[in-house]
Structure 1
């Protein structure tokens, strides 16, 4: 790695970004206690959303119990018995797992935002001043560039990152073989595969690697928290859409809270934490930590989407990420991880 941040600053930022993962388990929730199970990056962003919901008539006297972690791990935990009233994950497939097991109703996407509560784009987080001049997807696979990205086996963020990299090749007219060759270069340059997006950010802010593949909102939060980093929105990238749903036995208060997530006040709160609004009419204002606080969410030159460009997660998940546990062949990414020896946290 070409540049280390100071140990004291790294420790401070790591403390701010550390995951508390308060337990949401229990035999059940009362009408006024909402158990929220989410992916790790949401932890800081949810705090003002909770507080503002509690100031509404629907949220009066409501309290929250929370659990945060890697999106796939959180989904599997709920499937295995972790109590949840509201789930807010990185990937649609982490909700559909719960639909398949009967925990979430199959109509969960029947909302004005099609079940999406937050959104972002894939960016490059770099050292302050961008000393390696990393601007494009081609730059990060140059020899000697050290990449950190979460593990796609557990992290939703990692899967968005991988698909953004794939889109750079195949979405721009390249063949699937060229896409695989690019992902191989990316994995060869990867020095760590932490279990979650938050763990990956902590590793990077502690001084590891030259570039972190991450959510734009996570990069903004890192800067808000004092990390000595910058970030680059590449000319072509992928729209990240994070779903939320209630479980079948959730209380009326939980359903009210789910509805609240896509209101203007909640989306304003999420925007201040670096998320792009999922509805129109949100008064974003200035966003501290953004490259341009007065224009925090610029439109990339080319913005790919999972649904429009790759057929949706129902097609993407088995093709790219199948882990072989169902008896079917490995997906493209686990196979490349096996071929490159980059299969887990390092």
Structure 2
């Protein structure tokens, strides 16, 4: 690939989805930013980008976009996939890039601590909830099929697991009860897709009685006329989703400007319309989200470094044992 200017060459090299049409001759002076993100907020990001491109700063920016399972996306960037902005399902996927020197260690020092959206884990059921599934205990009953992704590829799956564990372990104070619950739960999981969005497709295709899901994913499905209902459990975990600019961005000023826009009220309102809870105050629609009495956070379970080792280390952890017990691979 040839180009007249080194900056354009580097910009084109960052394209994650083939886009030769925007080469140096046809770029018109625009800057190309590459967004690499987890799968569920794709519709929100598409809408936000359109809003951003209406602004004076955004009209000179075009985007390459890549969406997939959070862990897979993080590992791809760590292995050389080009990215200017990265958005993941969970903080540990960002930490991987910090450890690789690809994201600044101070990425989470701002007012929102690096988070761009919040959500909670919910129980999504068939329309009318024919099996009357309302609690975590209902998921382990005989004959109930539960859909959730593979936690060794999907960040959404890890949130799902920690929500159920924390609820049954009294926020981690009764580890034996929480671990026993996970073993019982996964005996009712017939298939584990690689991402939350793929699990939604599986559920929409007719498999399963209940799906562990982000609240926003359940709202997205209802908005797109999927015949489902969902319940916010009395005890569930607050999902916090990080975003950052990479240190290898060839257009750091433009990437930082987009990051700032993501935390502004316009973008946050788009996130709310797509079912996400905002991370800034005063966003219309935020008041409509239910407030679970037993809401807890990852900090209540010891924080991501502790949780990743204890639950999601493929070489030996709670979920490695659970998966091996049902014959599922733990190679993420």
Quick check: TM above 0.5? yes
Find the partner of 1:23 among 16, 38, 53. Answer: 16
| CA displacement at 1:24 relative to structure 2 | 4.3
- Corresponding residue for 1:337? 323
Greater Cα offset, 71-80 or 27-36: 27-36
**Structure 2 counterpart SS, 1:65:** strand
**Residue pair 2:314, 2:330 contacting (<8 A) in 1 also:** no
- Corresponding residue for 1:283? 284
Find the partner of 1:312 among 284, 290, 303. Answer: 303
CA gap 1:344/1:203 in 2 versus in 1, 3 angstroms = farther
| CA displacement at 1:169 relative to structure 2 | 1.4
Structure 1 residues not aligned, in runs of 5+: 1-21, 286-294, 325-329
- Corresponding residue for 2:3? none
Does residue 264 of structure 1 match 2:265? yes
Q: Distance in 1 between matches of 2:238 and 2:104?
A: 25
Q: How many residues align?
A: 309
Does residue 321 of structure 1 match 2:301? no
Q: Distance in 1 between matches of 2:118 and 2:218?
A: 14
Q: Distance in 1 between matches of 2:172 and 2:257?
A: 44
CA gap 1:83/1:26 in 2 versus in 1, 3 angstroms = farther
Q: Distance in 2 between matches of 1:55 and 1:111?
A: 26
| CA displacement at 1:343 relative to structure 2 | 3.6
Q: Distance in 1 between matches of 2:58 and 2:144?
A: 48
- Corresponding residue for 2:221? 222
Greater Cα offset, 253-262 or 168-177: 168-177
Q: Distance in 2 between matches of 1:338 and 1:240?
A: 27
Q: CA RMSD in A?
A: 2.1
- Corresponding residue for 1:185? 184
| CA displacement at 1:56 relative to structure 2 | 1.6
- Corresponding residue for 2:101? 102
- Corresponding residue for 1:152? 151
Does residue 249 of structure 1 match 2:235? no
Structure 2 residues not aligned, in runs of 5+: 1-14
**Residue pair 2:117, 2:240 contacting (<8 A) in 1 also:** yes
Map residues 86-97 of structure 1 onto 2, 5 A cutoff: 86-97=85-96
What are the superposed Cα offsets for residues 79-120 of structure 1, whole Å, 9 maximum, x if unpaired?
111110000000111111111111111111111100001110
CA gap 1:344/1:26 in 2 versus in 1, 3 angstroms = farther
Q: Distance in 2 between matches of 1:226 and 1:271?
A: 18
What are the superposed Cα offsets for residues 201-254 of structure 1, whole Å, 9 maximum, x if unpaired?
000000000000010000010111111111111111110000000001321111
